[in-house]
Structure formats: structure tokens, C-alpha cells
């Protein structure tokens, strides 16, 4: 009787976001990367596919030569294959076709150079799949791709059906697709190795063509929770007698002749695809839940739980679909801003590239070509997926990752600025104000750009500033994150302000009308009563002019302000004027109430009882303990008073903050034709769920200037960055 067998390809995925802290890399190396590869090296009969993000592989090459040497020895003896993909782990769906190919070829080239290995397969960042993928994967020279078995279930395939590979195509270009085995992924390393062996035994067959693809994040095998001890020091006692999971698992495979260790490339050579298959747009099931709007996600989780508990509906669970990955760009406007900035800067680089190609060859030097390549690499780094979404990991909530995106994009812009004079020799310095549908909502934002600053205005979100880049330091001072309501937030904690939720996106010069007696705590929690209708909505652009090295933009809105004691409203017109010159931004806000014989008393109560608040949030990326701030109106004596992140309010006109890490100053000087003039500051702290549990994560500092009203009122603010 023929022995029943099954193929077990193992793939380990090693990833770190671009610009993650070296201390994090070292911790992961010591707890997971080095012991995992050491164990694999000690079991030469165990074959594995390894996928490294390009930036992490570069770090290994530069910092861990002994680790790389071990990989080379395993490659030489045919034990491992290296799997390709996008160099900086982009989500392919949201980057242009050219960039997909370039990122894949960049990683393929590095693998070929360092290990002399051909790359046949692709790793999908976050297992995000869209039906047009086969075209560019094929064009990148790849033969197979690894996808989540969730994708296959949505086609109606059974668990048995996912024990094979399939062929799929787009535009006639084919690739092989391998489903990741979910049961094995959940068994390792959380259950004794005997559980995985029993699962494989269940599906082994006499034909011997089945394949159960085990994929694990390398970080999962040593960094997550207690897995370092579980995998390399003391494992499960039931079934494994306490032997560490990784060597116990490799030993089990090596000792079972019916388990065939194989790489995916080897499997392709031996077996054809089971059938043709077309996969829908998909990711792994949890991602499809995380991407849903908050209220919808709550409802989805209730439905899913009910179906799991109902025997009549359990079989239909595989057809229950959540959202799809691109909706993160809608759910989090900050993600959309980063993405659209990437596309915008990229388009500027393409234009420069095209213009330079028209120059005589002697002018298009090797030096210029190197600058262009450097700018492209900065853009590719800004396509790293981690900061664009949020689920089990911090993602968009991790401000240093967002800062990294902006830093690389501003770096690319600075290179473009260096190349511009080659095309336009008379251009030494510049300032422009371009109306453009930046956010792709069919509405025009205004983008002010110069050698020193980028300042982006959204007339349709309360006439606010949503990006402020100081280019000399590649620093976006508006890398803030709004305190969004999440499905995992406890409603009682929201009620008692343990979790604070914002009504509006955190942006500069948003206007608020509130009672004079509103305490700082209510302003910080965004729970005050709003009496105006200027905080959001459309402002009309009435001026967009350039004068030499400066530009002036004016926005207007006709609205109203409510009485504090009745439902009466007084019409009010607001004008916002934004002037940009060098490293200065000058803001002027003027308001005029429409008084008549009938509303005089109402207007009087409004003027006596209401203040206008002007928001000026900003973000510092340095070490918070070294943030400093000063005000001229009072001397800061205690450490508590000197703490920039401590909520504080004072009557005054001047505020200055300093990020010592980056040697960056942000100075605010204000004046008004009314009294009082008060400055309130508080930290923007988001409450997010991460791989380390619930965390309060710093997202910036908010300053609000509170100004008295008059029939005609004027507020002036000078922002200086240096």
C-alpha cells in the first residue's frame, strides 16, 4: 500500500517599517531573527522560503554579516529560496504600475547580487490582493505569489481545495497562486507540535500532490508576548516534553518520512496547477474587519459572532465579507493625505524627469541621473505600507512612521528643487500657489510651495491648513492625528473623558465659538457647546495672488453665531487671510456681525458671552522629555509648568516651542482688537489598540487662541519656523 504523504513548504516573513528604531531591530534580531535562522541552519533537511523586506535585508547586510553568511551557506546547499516583492513593502494596489515593477526589481537585484539566487515568487504586503495583480507580477518576472486562504474561501472553495496551487491570469499573463494554510498558522507556535503533525496527517493522501503552506511572521516566533521562551527556551510540556517549539517542530518534520519538505519553486517544477481560478479583491479576514467604518465594524462583529454561534449559519461564514484595504484612505484622512502627497510629489518628479530628458546629453550628466534615482528611492520609501492603516498594530497611530513618510517625500521635493534650475536657469528661489484636486474629492485645495515651506489649505474643511512642511529640516509640523472613534473604544471611558474623541480633523486655523466660561478640560476633550458654524464646511477662495517672494490667499464664509440663551442666530461673515513669505506664515482673521434694529440685544449677549477659538495644532517628532516652551507673559518655574505636553492656559499673546532633537523652533505671535486674548495648550493623545495592548499615543500638541468678540473683530497671528 502506498504511503500517504503531504508537502510542507515553510515560509518565514521578516519585516520592519522603514526608519524603525535601531533598538527595535536589535531586539527583534536577538529574540527572533537570529535564533530562528540558527535553528533552521541546524536542520539542513528542512527547506524554507524566506522573505525579507528590502530595507531590513540591507540592515542585515550592513550590521549582521555573520547572519548573512549563514543565509549564504544555506542558499548554497539548496536549503532556502528567497522570495521577492516590493523592496519597501508597499501595498501594490495604491502605487502606480511603474513603481510596482521598480520596487520588485530592486529587491530581486539585491537578492541576486548578495546570494546569487533567482527570485521566482512574490510576497504580498498584508496579503492584499486585487484581480489585476497577475499582470504586473508577470511583467516583473515572477512565477508565483502567496495569498491568504481567505481569498479562496470567498470563491466557495473548501478546506480540501486549498491544499493545492492554482493558476490565475490578467490580460493573458499568468501566475501561480499558493493559499496560506490558516489552521497551521494558528497552531504554530501556540499549540504543541503534535497538533500540527496531526493536522498534516489528516490531509496526507496516496497521490502525494497536496501541499499545506505554513507561513509565519518571523517576529511572531520570538518577539510577540512570551514566544521567545516558547520557541527557543521552554516549549509545551504536553506532547513536546518542554522542548522549545522551533527545534521540536523541525525535528518532527525531519523524522516523519511522509512529510515532504520542499520550496515553492520546487513544487511548481513537479506539479501543475490544480485548476484556473480568479480571486476577488481581498485581504486576510481581520483586515477586512479593521477597514470598516467604526459603526459598521461594530455591527459586523455582532453579526459575525451570532453566525459563529448558530449551527445553521456557520457554513455561510466564509461568504461574510468585510471591507477592502483601500478604504483605509477614507477612514483615516491622514492616511489619504500621505498617499496623495506621495502621488503628487511623484508626478512632479516624472515631469522633471521628462523635461530633463529633452536636454542635450552633455547636460543630462551622471550626477543628475544619480539625483533622480535618489529622489525615486525617497518616494519608494514613502510607499512603505505600515503607516497607512490600523488594525492589531498601531499603524497610522504611530506618529514616527507618519513622520518617516513625510520626511522622505520632502527629501524628494528638495531634490526636485535642486534640479529645477537646470531646466529654468533664472530660477534661484521660488514661491507658487497651485489650485489642485489634491485629495481627489473633485474639489480644489491650495498648495503653497517655496524653497522654505509647503503650506496646504483645504477651503472645504473650514478653510484650514492641513500640511505645513519646513523643508530645510524635511519636517511636517502638521503630522498630527485626529482622535478618531474606534470600534474597540469603551463608551463609558469616552463619557468620562478617559478616551477623548475629536469632532473635527485636527488642522490649523479651524474656528470655534464657545462660552467664555468653558474650562480647559472641556476644550481638550472637545465637549464644549459649539455656537458657530465656521468649524467646518466650505470657505470661498476670494484671492490667490503672488507678490515677488510672497503669496496671499483669502477665504470667506457667510455663516452665523448662536445666542447662548436662545436659538436666535446673528449672521456673521468671516475672512481668513494667509500670507506666506520665506519661513513666516501670517494669519489674519476678520469677522463682522450683521447687526440690525431687531437683533441688537442678541448680539450684545453673544459678544459678552462668547469667545472665538483659533486652533493651531502642531507636531514635534523629537524626544518629548526635551521639548521646551516659553511665553513672555509669565516665568515658567516648576518642571510641571515647563512640560510642553502638560495642559495649560494663560492670558497672553506669545508662545514658542522648541524641539531639541531636531533643533527646530515654532514661534507664535498674536494680537487682537478685542480682549481678552488667552492661549490654551494641551497634548493630542489618541487611545489605540496595538500589538502591546491598549496604549495612549502622543499625536502632537494643540494650541488654541481664545479671543473676545466685537461687532467687527480682527485677530492676527504670525507663525515663524526656524
| Residue 597 predicted with pLDDT over 80 | no
Helix axes 65-76, 97-115, angle to 10 degrees: 80
**What's the whole-number mean pLDDT along residues 380-390?**
97
Domain ranges of the chain: 6-283, 290-325, 332-428, 491-721
Helices then strands, counting H and E runs in the chain, come out as: 22, 28
- Residue tagged 541546524 (cell numbers): 42
pLDDT tens for each residue of 286-341:
999 999 999 999 999 999 999 999 888 888 888 888 999 999 999 999 999 999 99
| Cβ–Cβ < 8 Å for 44, 77 | yes
Q: What is the pTM of this model?
A: 0.96
Q: What is the pLDDT of residue 216?
A: 95
Phi/psi at 341 (5° precision): -65, -40
Query: At 1, is the pLDDT very low, low, confident or very high (cuts 50, 70, 90)?
Result: low
Q: Which residue has the higher pLDDT, 384 or 315?
A: 384
| Cβ–Cβ < 8 Å for 9, 121 | no
**What's the whole-number mean pLDDT along residues 85-91?**
98
Residues catalogued as catalytic: 126, 217
| Cβ–Cβ < 8 Å for 664, 696 | no
Q: What is the pLDDT of residue 304?
A: 92
Which of the 8 DSSP states describes residue 393? S
Q: What is the pLDDT of residue 382?
A: 98
Q: What is the pLDDT of residue 375?
A: 98
CA distances from 417 to 234, 432, 434, 455 (A): 57, 13, 16, 16
| Cβ–Cβ < 8 Å for 300, 322 | yes
Q: What is the pLDDT of residue 548?
A: 87
Burial of 720 (0-12, 13-18, 19+ CB in 10 A): middle
For the chain, the distance separating the N- and C-terminal CA atoms, rounded to the nearest angstrom, is: 80
CATH, domain range 491-721:
2.70.98.10
Range of lowest pLDDT (91-105, 351-365, 519-533, 593-607):
351-365
In percent, the amount of the chain with pLDDT more than 70 equals 99
List of residues 6+ apart from 570 with CB closer than 8 A: 560, 561, 563, 593, 594, 595, 599, 602, 603, 606
SS3 (DSSP) at 276: strand
d(CA 639, CA 651): 20
Q: Are strands 453-458 and 693-708 parallel, antiparallel or unpaired?
A: unpaired
Instruction: Please determine, looking at this structure, whether the domain spanning 6-283 carries the CATH number 3.20.110.20.
Output: yes
Q: What is the pLDDT of residue 314?
A: 83
Query: At 483, is the pLDDT very low, low, confident or very high (cuts 50, 70, 90)?
Result: very high
**What's the whole-number mean pLDDT along residues 512-520?**
97
- Residue tagged 516651542 (cell numbers): 657
Query: Which among 107, 110, 51 is positioned nearest to 81, based on CA atoms?
Result: 51
| Cβ–Cβ < 8 Å for 659, 674 | no
H/E stretch holding 579: strand 569-581
* Mean pLDDT across the chain: 95
| Residue 362 predicted with pLDDT over 70 | no
pLDDT tens for each residue of 419-463:
998 888 766 789 999 999 999 999 999 999 999 999 999 999 999
Q: What is the pLDDT of residue 584?
A: 96
In percent, the amount of the chain with pLDDT more than 90 equals 88
Q: What is the pLDDT of residue 595?
A: 83
d(CA 466, CA 460): 11
SS3 (DSSP) at 458: strand
Q: What is the pLDDT of residue 672?
A: 96
Query: Which among 683, 627, 687, 689 is positioned nearest to 656, based on CA atoms?
Result: 627
CA angle 421, 422, 424 (to 5 degrees): 55
Q: What is the pLDDT of residue 208?
A: 94
**What's the whole-number mean pLDDT along residues 369-375?**
96
H/E stretch holding 180: strand 173-180
How many residues in total does the chain contain?
722
Amino acid at each position: 500500500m502506498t504511503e500517504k504523504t503531504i508537502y510542507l513548504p515553510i515560509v518565514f516573513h521578516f519585516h520592519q517599517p522603514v526608519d524603525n528604531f535601531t533598538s527595535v531591530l536589535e531586539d527583534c534580531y536577538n529574540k527572533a531573527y537570529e535564533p530562528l535562522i540558527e535553528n533552521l541552519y541546524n536542520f539542513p533537511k528542512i527547506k524554507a522560503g524566506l522573505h525579507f523586506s528590502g530595507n531590513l535585508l540591507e540592515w542585515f547586510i550592513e550590521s549582521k554579516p555573520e547572519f548573512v553568511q549563514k543565509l549564504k551557506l544555506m542558499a548554497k546547499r539548496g536549503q532556502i529560496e528567497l522570495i521577492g516583492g516590493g523592496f519597501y513593502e508597499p501595498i501594490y494596489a495604491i502605487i502606480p504600475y511603474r513603481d510596482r515593477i521598480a520596487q520588485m526589481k530592486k529587491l530581486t537585484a539585491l537578492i541576486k547580487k548578495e546570494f546569487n539566487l533567482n527570485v521566482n515568487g512574490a510576497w504580498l504586503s498584508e496579503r492584499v490582493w486585487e484581480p489585476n495583480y497577475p499582470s504586473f507580477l508577470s511583467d516583473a518576472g515572477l512565477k508565483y505569489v502567496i495569498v491568504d486562504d481567505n481569498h479562496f474561501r470567498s470563491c466557495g472553495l473548501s478546506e480540501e481545495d486549498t491544499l493545492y496551487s492554482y493558476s490565475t491570469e490578467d490580460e493573458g499573463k499568468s501566475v501561480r497562486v499558493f493559499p496560506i494554510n490558516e489552521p497551521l498558522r494558528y497552531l504554530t507556535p501556540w499549540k504543541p507540535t503534535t497538533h500540527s503533525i496531526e493536522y498534516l496527517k489528516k490531509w496526507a493522501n496516496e497521490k502525494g500532490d497536496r501541499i499545506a503552506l505554513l507561513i509565519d511572521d518571523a517576529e511572531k516566533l520570538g518577539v510577540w508576548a512570551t514566544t521567545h521562551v516558547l520557541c527557543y527556551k521552554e516549549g509545551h510540556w504536553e506532547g513536546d516534553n518542554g522542548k522549545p517549539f522551533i527545534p521540536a517542530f523541525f525535528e518532527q518534520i525531519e523524522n516523519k518520512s511522509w512529510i515532504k519538505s520542499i520550496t515553492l519553486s520546487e513544487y511548481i517544477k513537479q506539479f501543475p496547477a490544480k485548476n484556473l481560478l480568479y480571486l476577488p479583491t481581498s485581504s486576510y479576514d481581520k483586515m477586512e474587519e479593521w477597514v470598516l467604518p467604526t459603526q459598521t465594524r461594530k455591527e459586523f462583529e455582532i453579526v459575525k459572532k451570532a453566525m459563529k454561534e448558530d449551527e445553521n449559519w456557520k457554513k455561510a461564514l466564509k461568504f461574510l465579507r468585510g471591507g477592502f484595504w483601500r478604504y483605509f484612505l477614507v477612514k483615516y484622512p491622514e492616511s489619504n493625505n500621505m498617499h496623495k502627497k506621495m502621488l503628487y510629489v511623484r508626478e512632479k518628479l516624472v515631469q522633471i524627469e521628462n523635461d530633463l530628458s529633452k536636454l542635450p546629453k552633455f547636460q543630462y550628466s551622471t550626477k543628475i541621473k544619480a539625483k533622480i534615482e535618489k529622489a525615486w528611492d525617497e518616494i519608494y520609501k514613502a510607499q512603505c505600507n505600515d503607516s497607512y492603516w490600523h488594525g492589531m498594530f498601531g499603524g497610522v497611530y504611530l506618529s514616527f512612521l507618519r513622520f518617516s513618510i513625510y520626511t522622505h517625500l520632502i527629501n524628494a521635493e528638495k531634490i526636485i528643487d535642486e534640479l529645477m534650475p537646470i531646466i529654468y536657469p533664472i530660477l534661484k528661489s521660488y514661491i507658487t500657489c497651485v489650485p489642485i484636486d489634491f485629495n481627489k474629492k473633485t474639489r480644489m485645495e491650495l498648495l503653497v510651495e517655496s524653497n522654505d515651506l509647503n503650506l496646504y489649505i483645504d477651503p472645504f474643511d473650514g478653510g484650514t491648513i492641513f500640511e505645513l512642511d519646513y523643508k530645510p529640516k524635511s519636517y511636517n509640523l502638521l503630522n498630527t492625528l485626529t482622535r478618531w472613534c474606534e470600534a474597540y473604544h469603551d463608551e463609558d471611558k469616552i463619557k468620562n473623558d478617559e478616551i477623548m474623541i475629536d469632532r473635527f480633523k485636527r488642522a490649523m486655523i479651524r474656528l470655534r465659538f464657545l462660552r467664555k466660561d468653558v474650562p480647559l478640560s472641556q476644550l481638550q476633550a472637545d465637549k464644549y457647546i459649539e455656537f458657530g458654524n465656521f468649524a467646518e464646511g466650505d470657505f470661498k477662495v476670494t484671492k490667490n495672488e503672488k507678490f515677488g517672494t510672497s503669496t496671499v490667499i483669502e477665504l470667506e464664509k457667510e455663516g452665523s453665531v448662536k445666542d447662548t440663551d436662545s436659538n436666535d442666530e446673528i449672521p456673521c461673515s468671516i475672512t481668513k487671510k494667509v500670507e506666506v513669505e520665506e519661513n513666516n506664515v501670517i494669519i489674519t482673521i476678520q469677522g463682522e456681525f450683521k447687526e440690525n434694529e431687531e437683533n441688537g440685544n442678541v448680539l450684545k449677549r453673544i459678544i459678552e458671552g462668547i469667545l472665538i477659538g483659533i486652533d493651531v495644532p502642531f507636531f514635534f517628532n523629537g524626544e518629548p522629555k526635551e521639548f521646551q516652551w516659553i511665553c513672555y507673559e509669565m516665568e515658567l518655574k516648576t518642571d510641571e509648568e515647563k512640560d510642553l505636553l502638560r495642559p495649560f492656559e494663560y492670558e497672553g499673546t506669545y508662545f514658542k516651542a522648541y524641539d531639541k532633537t531636531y533643533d527646530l523652533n515654532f514661534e507664535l505671535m498674536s494680537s487682537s482688537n478685542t480682549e481678552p486674548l488667552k492661549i490654551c495648550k494641551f497634548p493630542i493623545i489618541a487611545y489605540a489598540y496595538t500589538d502591546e495592548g491598549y496604549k495612549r499615543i502622543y499625536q502632537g500638541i494643540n494650541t488654541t487662541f481664545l479671543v473676545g468678540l466685537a461687532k467687527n473683530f480682527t485677530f492676527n497671528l504670525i507663525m515663524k519656523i526656524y
